[in-house]
Structure 1
Amino acid sequence: MSKHMSILADLKTMVEAKKVAGSSVLTLDKTDRIQVMQTMIHLADLSNPTKPIDLYTIWVKNIMEEYWRQGDRERDLGIDISPMCDRNNITIAKSQVGFIDFIVHPLFETWADLVNPHAQYILDQLEFNREWYQTRIPEEQEKHDIMLEENNANIEITTNFEPSHQHQQSSPNEIADLKQSESTKVASYFLIFHFLYFEKF
């Protein structure tokens, strides 16, 4: 993901070259072929939103649970929670719409231009999945807000009736191990975090 933008830019350049050539067949040298194969690997890595919706939602559930467990562990250790890993501040539907709009769709749309018309069915499924999640944003946001209110109420009760205590200090090794684990995830999802938190939907 750290090279996502450069991969997308190179792919767009290849599409423009195809248009200039005015041919449905794109002549590729060795460097171009390697670039195409690298792009295909990246496409496969981001392909969950292009799968049938029942399969896509299973992957989303499993991936988000992995992130949230990491966030729970970071909270227990008293360190900053990584982007996308706080189960109290992420709504799945909105995050998936943002992921599709800013990361997945631009890449697959450009790829479809390169291999036109052989990838249109992928775009059709992607757009269906986006709409599926888009329609679920209001309901999910309402449930999320209710959960936050309940959590805040529980925190207030705990504060009023339980004695305060010092958070257990994590060992340097525990923190170092966790930060090493999270570093790849932070790098991989920096772009997603940027769009989700700084773009308005």
Structure 2
Amino acid sequence: MVIALVLSTDMSKHMSLLADLKTTVEKQKAFQGNVINLDSYSARMQILECIIHAADLSNPTKPLKIYQEWVSRIMEEMFRQGDQEKQFGIEISPMCDRETACIYSTQIGFIDYIVYPLWETMAELLHPGVQVLMDNIANNRNWYVNAKEKEEKEVNKRNNSIDQ
């Protein structure tokens, strides 16, 4: 069981975990109201796997300063991987090139396509206790959107002053 739970953090399983969780939530709501039936081993494992997976992807649910610290650490790890790939002459993995990666865009996409859909579904299981987490996701996304827009304006301003 522990091995299966650890493997549930593998991002290659994200879409299938999310789809299965959505199906389970919808079935349970349709047949038993807001109570999730955990009578079977497979139902318990599925929910446990999703909880572990959501915990692994929980940094955007934290207050902004904590989230930013984790973003910094994770991006540095990814950039070091990209540096090694570059050093060995192999193709640099997506988002691992420190010269071209846009951290703002990376985080916006991560929230929009990975974190929010998962936590939105988890919220149906854990509601209302996760509202503060959902609020943090929205606030953190807004911060990255605003920071990206600000950076783009500054770049455009510099480019316009160079052109003139």
TM-score, with structure 1 as normaliser: 0.68
RMSD value, Cα:
1.8
Amino acid at match of 1:109: E
Any idea what SS the aligned residue of 1:3 has?
Answer: helix
1:106 matched to which residue of 2?
117
Question: Which residue of the partner structure matches residue 6 of structure 1?
Answer: 16
The answer to whether structure 1 residue 121 and structure 2 residue 132 are counterparts is: yes
**Contact 1:93/1:140 (8 A) holds in 2:** no
Match of 2:87 in 1: 76
Alignment partner, residue 48 of structure 1: 59
Residue by residue, what CA displacement relative to the aligned partner does 1:81-110 show, whole Å, maximum 9, x if unpaired? 111110111111111001000000000001
Counterpart of 1:90 in 2: which secondary structure?
coil
Q: Percent identity?
A: 50
How many residues are aligned here?
Answer: 146
Distance in 1, Cα, partners of 2:68 & 2:156: 22
Residue deviations 1:170-197 (CA, integer Å, cap 9, x gap): xxxxxxxxxxxxxxxxxxxxxxxxxxxx
Shift of 1:39: 0.5
Cα distance between partner residues in 1 of 2:65 and 2:29: 36
* C-alpha contact 2:85 2:91 (8 A) present in aligned 1: yes
Does structure 2 conserve the Cα–Cα contact (< 8 Å) formed by 1:112 and 1:120?
yes
> Bigger relative contact order, structure 1 or 2, given CA contacts below 8 A and separation 6+?
1
**1:124 and 1:75 mapped to 2: Cα distance?**
39
The aligned counterpart of 1:33 is 44
CA drift at 1:143: 6.6
Question: Separation in 2 of the partners of 1:144 and 1:41?
Answer: 40
Structure 1 residues 35 and 144, CA, compared in 2 at 3 Å: closer, same or farther? Answer: farther
